[in-house]
Structure 1
């Protein structure tokens, strides 16, 4: 695999190819008239450029109008530190975005905003500009209604939405709210790395044709303190049509 560098980010060329603890009543995330908006960070504990973007995502994760998700990629594991949260699946998600957004390479850190644009995520202004762009283009959102009782299944509901004959991907991401990891080797050796909203499982729930639908996800798949996000986007990692989150109470 060929590796390239660019200022402020680590790059690799593309291949050819609130369920609060102890709460017993049902809680839900109801559709909003605008947003929330999806921000996906592709990061690695093995990359010394990533901690500022990790911290930025942590701040974004506290905003109710943002679905903030961290996807840990595995292509930096060879340089001295194996990221415990990295997977081939998350790396492939980043590569799919790179193809859709016509990037020459994938890099870390990279924040993809609403599936329409990307930046390193190290600074606030470019991400806010991408969010403003997403908000300006959205005349209507297919925001999923999420609900779950403690330990029970997750219910996902979508009202009818005009897709114009297209189909959309309905994707579930299950994530840990926060991790602190002492890094013992590699570029971040000796640092305590804080990660937020670390995705531990992602799955395509269904392909959706825009008719009113509902789905049920077994509760056994979701840990008692994990967050849940549902992304609705044009097929093959296109622009977001809607998203929402449901997560336990958190302070930090």
Structure 2
């Protein structure tokens, strides 16, 4: 059997990354199930992205055990079609992942729970990665979001460890007629399109309650990100 060197190196990198994660000791309140966070980095200007978008759409519609989010990057905007949902925050977030995983930034890319990165249209690879992430999932603290008019209440339970809280605003569905670029002439349906990302500050183990204005977007989610980039808490409205 011939194994491509690049594939072997990627598999070895993933194995070493998983092995390097320090164990957490979550509190009893943190044992509640949470969704596995799926981040798709995509662009309407990328001809390879529609199959990955369709895959994410299926997860949005058919699965409750994952939180799929579509981050539209900016670096395709100069290549024939400016994506109306592109965000500098999405480009920056992907760049941090690219530096950490050593694979740079490309589209479509799916990052599973902040642990591993994959070609977003490769279902045979992404599906098992989600299953592995669910089996190794850590919840450092329970989290809950509630809306009251134009404000959100964010409740984070007590636990062990530390991390950064991120508030993500997203739209549930968009349908866009693409007029130029690699996807010119196509109409794309995209779900859970991220419209804003902002930091709510640090969490250091103590329970806390925050009152925040609703982010840009129809819906909202809050993520707890460990110092090493893993997702260790998540909730959505």
Q: CA contact under 8 A between 1:143 and 1:242: conserved in structure 2? A: yes
Unmatched 5+ residue regions in structure 2? 1-5, 7-29
Write out the 4+ residue segments of structure 1 that deviate beyond 4 Å after TM superposition: none
Normalised to the residue count of structure 2, the TM-score between the two structures is 0.82
Number of the residue aligned with 2:192? 197
Higher-RCO chain (CA-CA 8 Å, sequence separation at least 6): 1
Q: CA contact under 8 A between 1:171 and 1:202: conserved in structure 2? A: yes
Higher relative helix content: 2
Number of the residue aligned with 2:23? none
Number of the residue aligned with 1:175? 170
- Secondary structure of residue in 2 paired with 1:106: coil
1:230-241 equivalences under 5 Å are: 230-235=222-227, 238-241=229-232
Give the count of matched residue pairs: 208
Cα distance in 2, alignment partners of residues 60 and 68 from structure 1: 7
Unmatched 5+ residue regions in structure 1? 1-5, 7-30, 247-252
Q: CA deviation at 1:87?
A: 2.1
Cα distance in 2, alignment partners of residues 54 and 195 from structure 1: 6
Normalised to the residue count of structure 1, the TM-score between the two structures is 0.77
Number of the residue aligned with 2:85? 85
RMSD, aligned CA: 1.9
Change (3 A) 1:32 1:173: farther
Cα distance in 2, alignment partners of residues 42 and 100 from structure 1: 15
Number of the residue aligned with 1:218? 213
Cα distance in 1, alignment partners of residues 59 and 202 from structure 2: 28
